[in-house]
Amino acid sequence: MSDKKIPLAGVIGCPVAHSKSPQLQRHWLETHGIAGHYIPMHVEPEDLETVIRTLPKAGFVGVNVTIPHKEAVMKIADKVTDRAKLMGAANTVIFRSDGSILADNTDGYGFITNLHQGAPDWVPGSGPAAVLGAGGACRAVVASLIEAGVPEILLSNRTRDRAEQLQKEFGKRIQVVDWVLAGNIIEEAALVVNTTSLGMVGKPRLRVPLDGLKPHMVVTDLIYSPLKTDLLQAAEDVGCTVVDGLGMLLHQAVPGFERWFGQRPDVDDATRAAALR
């Protein structure tokens, strides 16, 4: 019998039952023939540190962390990547062979990689991006758009202060526009991104006027439930290139899997089907 350790990984959240990560990661483990396991773990905030420090002793090579642990885990980690510091949150933890704990954030990577995959003709320098929302996920979107070379980001959020905070942190390429004028920023954009939760199952509808949409635009939504939001449907009706939010979820999981299990998985139709199962 082999005494080789079977690598373990998982997702820690509270709650965690809704997470699509287990079926996704298990699909990749199966596809690559890796004898590993990926486990959902419901962990209360007061137990987070004990659990994180114990898992490597039980054979864990890393974990994803989700709400409400994304900020707290950065205080437990020995090292936090620059991109996680920039986001103020981590979603991927790596237990390194020297015993140290590394916290990373792969949401920005997931967003931009999904955008390039879904809209291969989109050129970052082609024009402004209109971004709706200024919450946690928006930080990753803004950071990755700036890094990609988008010349201007027109940012509109119901709570203007949050958009102005992002402008302070990310600089002059961001122009803040009042939420009541959100429809106007769409008219000027080459790329439209919804980072609000409006349009998600169980949430109110996105009521921003969409008559500024034109066929040459790329439109993407972070929401993946439903897969085709009203925004994406309206954009598709006009002839825009549309990119749904599921791909972001799948791509953000790639770096973790690669670090933990040593192989880089593909995000393809079979991966999407596995996540939707």
Residue 78 Cβ, how far from ligand NAP at the closest point, in Å?
A: 26
Half-sphere exposure of 106 (CA within 13 A, CB side): 26
**What does the radius of gyration of the chain's CA atoms come to, in whole angstroms?**
19
The full length of the chain comes to 277
Q: Select from 21-29, 144-152, 156-164, 253-261 the region that touches ligand NAP (CB under 6 A).
A: 156-164
Q: What's the maximum distance between 2 C-alpha atoms anywhere in the chain?
A: 67
Which of 95/156 has CB closer to ligand NAP? 156
Query: Which positions from 161 to 180 touch ligand NAP by CB under 6 A, shown as an x/- string?
Result: -x------------------
- Residue from 59, 118, 127, 135 in contact with ligand NAP (CB under 6 A): 135
Which residue of the chain is nearest ligand NAP when measured via CB? 135
Residue 243 Cβ, how far from ligand NAP at the closest point, in Å?
A: 10
- How far, in Å, CA of 216 to CA of 87, rounded? 31
- Residue from 84, 189, 248, 253 in contact with ligand NAP (CB under 6 A): 248
163: alpha, beta or left? (left if phi > 0; alpha if psi -120 to 50): alpha
62-101: contacts with ligand NAP (CB under 6 A)? none
Under the binding rule (CB under 6 A), the answer on residue 200 touching ligand NAP is yes
Residue 230 Cβ, how far from ligand NAP at the closest point, in Å?
A: 13
Is 70 a known active-site residue?
Answer: yes
Strand partners, 192: 130, 219
Under the binding rule (CB under 6 A), the answer on residue 226 touching ligand NAP is no
Question: Distances from the Cα of 81 to the Cαs of 17, 88, 93, 104, 254, in angstroms?
Answer: 28, 11, 10, 5, 16
Under the binding rule (CB under 6 A), the answer on residue 222 touching ligand NAP is yes
Q: In this structure, which long-range contacts are made by residues 224-229, counting pairs with CB atoms below 8 Å and at least 24 apart in sequence?
A: 224/248, 224/249, 225/200, 225/201, 226/201, 227/276, 229/194, 229/199, 229/200
224 marked as part of a ligand binding site = yes
The annotation places the binding site for shikimate at 19-21, 66, 91, 107, 224, 252
